[in-house]
């Protein structure tokens, strides 16, 4: 037997195994539960376990939201934006309730904060905060419906509403396909009767109007005015409102679970390989912190005398570089955390110490950047851009504080939602505080004690600045308010598209008209706009 060779049994022929979804309706997995290797496995893991089917009520609510959007938003934004947002939220909430989803505490937080952001244009007239508020509200509404507590769940949920608009249409089409329309026997005859009545009233109304002037005047008052040139924009607003409502309803019916996405941790480096660059960077940050302490103790005037710079030149030279350093430090912390050594408790302790020290020194950079901007504002006045970068720099400082706190605590599962909450609260406070009003107040106060004002800057502000600019003496007042007065005169006064700030500005300007009509050739030239050296 030892000389005989027994052939090994042949491999069994391949068998096509059935496929089944891992989490609901999609995601091919073998019957044994082993996922098929493919690039889309991570995305398929996020598929909803169940998505409620669309109903005729969902389509009806979406169409009504579209009509409301086309009617209210044509003239601009104001309280109408909050009304349309509330209508969209009601539709999504009804779908979520039908799908058996409960309102969780974080869902309520994100939803209320989104509504607060949409309320910004109802109070203030400036456009830039409105853009930020609308973008933040859409992201928060998407996060409220998707949920999410880990970084993938938060970062993917914020913009997810954008790519849910078109799938929402397909979801409604699939849900209504082959389903009889409820109440069709009652609705169709009513629609036919309304169409016939409209044709008859139009024909005979035109004849009566041409026959009698009094009848023509009566019919013209009853007939809603709608210019043909309004139709394209109103149609676009209708489509946008309908798609937005369907998109959020689609998310509410079955949101993706972005928290299920797994990211492999980076290959941990050796302690020396990882720590040496961070030690060198910490030393450089420490040297900068020491120099800043010397500057503070020695006085800013001494530093300006040694450098030969003016206050505004010194501030302008370093602010943007320090802001870039702040953002790059966040990138360094994220990358270093990914490849940090974590095998032993000593490795984790070293990583926590070095990263925490870097975040702590980054707060010195944030403080220095804010101080330089304060020098700049004191020397040249406040502008929209300067106020915005100040707010962003303060928020970056808050992020570093959150990172330090996460390093000092055992669990950091709260960090992603805390960072998003801090950012959105910053946007909400920035918008609701009225940035244009703040800019105008600072410039008017600066004019009161220095007799210097950047008229080119304040002339570009919105109606939010009128109460502050109204306190300027002539001819500075008329020059500063000229463009705002013209814009208010040409702007619509529809209740839904007018902010509280614009109404107040109209009342102020009506009570105290501009001198010489606010013409630049008179008021602005007498104010010295052409030779203003503080622009």
DSSP for 314-368, written as a single string? HHHHHHHHHHHHHHHHHHHHHHHHHT---SSHHHHHHHHHHHHHHHHHHHHHHHH
Instruction: Specify whether 451 is located in the same domain as 394.
Output: no
Three-class SS string for 400-435? HHHHHHHHHCCCCCCHHHHHHHHHHHHHHHHHHCCH
Question: Which residue shows structure tokens 């919105």?
Answer: 462
Residue 202, in any domain of the structure = no
Cα separations in angstroms, 32 against 14, 36, 364, 408 = 15, 11, 56, 43
All residues at 6 or more sequence positions from 170 whose CB lies less than 8 Å from its CB, including other chains = none
Could you tell me the residue range of the domain that residue 296 belongs to? 271-433
Joined tokens for residue 34 = 């082993």
Residue 219, in any domain of the structure = no
SS3 10: coil
SS3 290: helix
Instruction: Specify whether 146 is located in the same domain as 21.
Output: no
Instruction: Specify whether 64 is located in the same domain as 85.
Output: yes
Burial of 246 (C-beta count, 10 Å sphere; 0-12/13-18/19+): buried
Cα separations in angstroms, 356 against 279, 336, 369, 402, 413 = 12, 12, 20, 11, 17
Tell me the torsion sign for CA atoms 412, 417, 420, 423. negative
Instruction: Specify whether 467 is located in the same domain as 411.
Output: no
Instruction: Specify whether 34 is located in the same domain as 145.
Output: no
Instruction: Specify whether 352 is located in the same domain as 470.
Output: no
pLDDT score at 453? 87
Tally the domains of the chain. Answer: 4
The tens place of each residue's pLDDT in the chain, 535 residues long, gives 333 333 444 444 443 333 333 323 333 333 334 444 444 566 777 888 778 888 888 888 999 999 999 999 988 888 999 999 999 999 999 999 888 888 889 999 999 999 999 999 999 998 888 899 999 999 999 999 998 888 888 988 999 888 878 888 888 888 776 565 555 555 567 667 777 887 887 888 788 878 877 777 776 666 555 556 778 888 899 999 999 999 999 999 999 888 888 767 667 788 888 899 999 999 999 998 888 887 766 665 666 666 666 666 666 666 778 888 988 999 999 899 888 888 888 888 999 999 999 999 999 999 888 888 887 888 788 999 889 989 999 999 999 999 999 988 878 889 999 999 999 999 999 999 999 999 999 999 999 888 888 888 898 899 999 999 999 998 899 989 998 998 888 876 777 888 899 999 999 999 999 876 545 456 677 666 644 433 3
Instruction: Specify whether 300 is located in the same domain as 354.
Output: yes
Query: Do residues 76 and 241 make contact, with C-beta atoms less than 8 angstroms apart?
Result: no
Tell me the torsion sign for CA atoms 49, 54, 60, 62. positive
Domain's final residue, options 400, 433, 466: 433
Joined tokens for residue 111 = 């939803």
pLDDT score at 532? 42
Cα separations in angstroms, 35 against 18, 23, 44 = 12, 12, 10
Rounded distance between C-alpha atoms, residue 304 and residue 291, angstroms: 14
Query: Do residues 24 and 50 make contact, with C-beta atoms less than 8 angstroms apart?
Result: yes
Instruction: Specify whether 342 is located in the same domain as 238.
Output: no
Residue 505, in any domain of the structure = yes
Write the Ramachandran bin of 19: left for phi over 0, alpha for psi from -120 to 50, otherwise beta. Answer: beta
Domain's final residue, options 416, 433, 450: 433
Domain's final residue, options 384, 418, 433: 433
Joined tokens for residue 335 = 């990358």
Instruction: Specify whether 342 is located in the same domain as 407.
Output: yes
Q: Diameter of the chain by CA atoms?
A: 122
Residue 531, in any domain of the structure = no
Look at the pTM and tell me if it is higher than 0.85: no
């Amino acid at each position: 037997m030892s000389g005989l060779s027994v052939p090994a049994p042949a491999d069994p022929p391949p068998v096509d195994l059935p496929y089944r979804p891992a989490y609901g309706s999609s995601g091919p997995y073998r019957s044994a539960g082993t996922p098929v290797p493919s690039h889309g496995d991570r995305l398929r893991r996020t598929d909803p376990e169940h998505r409620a089917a669309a109903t005729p009520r969902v389509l009806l609510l979406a169409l009504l939201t579209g009509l409301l959007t086309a009617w209210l938003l044509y003239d601009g934004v104001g309280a109408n934006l909050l009304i349309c947002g509330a209508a969209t939220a009601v539709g999504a909430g009804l779908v979520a309730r039908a799908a058996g989803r409960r309102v969780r505490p974080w869902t309520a937080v994100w939803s209320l904060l989104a509504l607060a952001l949409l309320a910004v244009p109802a109070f203030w007239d400036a456009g830039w905060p409105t853009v930020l508020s609308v973008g933040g509200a859409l992201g928060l509404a998407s996060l409220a419906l998707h949920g999410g507590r880990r970084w993938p769940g938060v970062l993917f949920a914020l913009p997810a509403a954008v790519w849910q608009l078109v799938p929402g249409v397909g979801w409604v089409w699939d849900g209504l396909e082959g389903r009889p329309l409820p109440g069709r026997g009652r609705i169709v005859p009513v629609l036919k009767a309304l169409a016939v009545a409209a044709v008859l009233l139009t024909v005979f109304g035109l004849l009566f109007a041409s026959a009698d002037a009094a009848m023509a005047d009566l019919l013209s008052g009853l007939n809603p005015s709608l210019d043909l040139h309004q139709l394209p924009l109103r149609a676009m607003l209708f489509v946008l409102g309908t798609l937005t409502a369907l998109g959020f309803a689609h998310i509410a019916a079955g949101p993706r679970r972005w928290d299920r996405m797994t990211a492999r941790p980076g290959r941990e480096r050796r302690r020396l390989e990882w720590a040496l660059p961070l030690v060198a960077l910490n030393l450089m940050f420490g040297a900068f912190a020491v120099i800043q302490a010397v500057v503070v103790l020695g006085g800013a005037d001494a530093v300006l005398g040694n450098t030969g710079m003016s206050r505004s030149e010194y501030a302008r030279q370093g602010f943007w570089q320090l802001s870039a350093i702040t953002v790059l430090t966040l990138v360094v912390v994220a990358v270093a955390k990914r490849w940090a050594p974590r095998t032993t408790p000593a490795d984790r302790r070293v990583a926590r110490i070095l990263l925490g020290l870097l975040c702590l020194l980054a707060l010195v950079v944030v403080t220095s950047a804010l101080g330089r901007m304060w020098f700049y504002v004191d020397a040249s006045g406040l502008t929209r851009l300067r106020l915005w970068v100040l707010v962003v720099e303060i928020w970056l400082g808050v992020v570093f504080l959150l990172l330090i706190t996460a390093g000092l605590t055992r669990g950091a599962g709260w960090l992603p939602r805390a960072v998003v909450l801090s950012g959105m609260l910053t946007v909400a406070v920035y918008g609701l505080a009225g940035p244009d009003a703040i800019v105008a107040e600072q410039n008017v106060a600066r004019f009161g004690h220095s007799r210097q004002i950047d008229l080119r800057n304040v002339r570009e502000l919105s109606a939010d600045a009128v109460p502050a600019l109204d306190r300027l003496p002539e001819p500075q007042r008329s020059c500063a308010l000229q463009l705002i007065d013209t814009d208010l005169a040409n702007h619509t006064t529809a209740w839904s598209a007018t902010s509280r700030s614009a109404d107040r500005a109209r009342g102020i300007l009506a009570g105290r008209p501009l001198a010489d009509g606010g013409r630049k050739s008179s008021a602005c030239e007498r104010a010295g706009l052409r030779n203003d050296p503080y622009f």
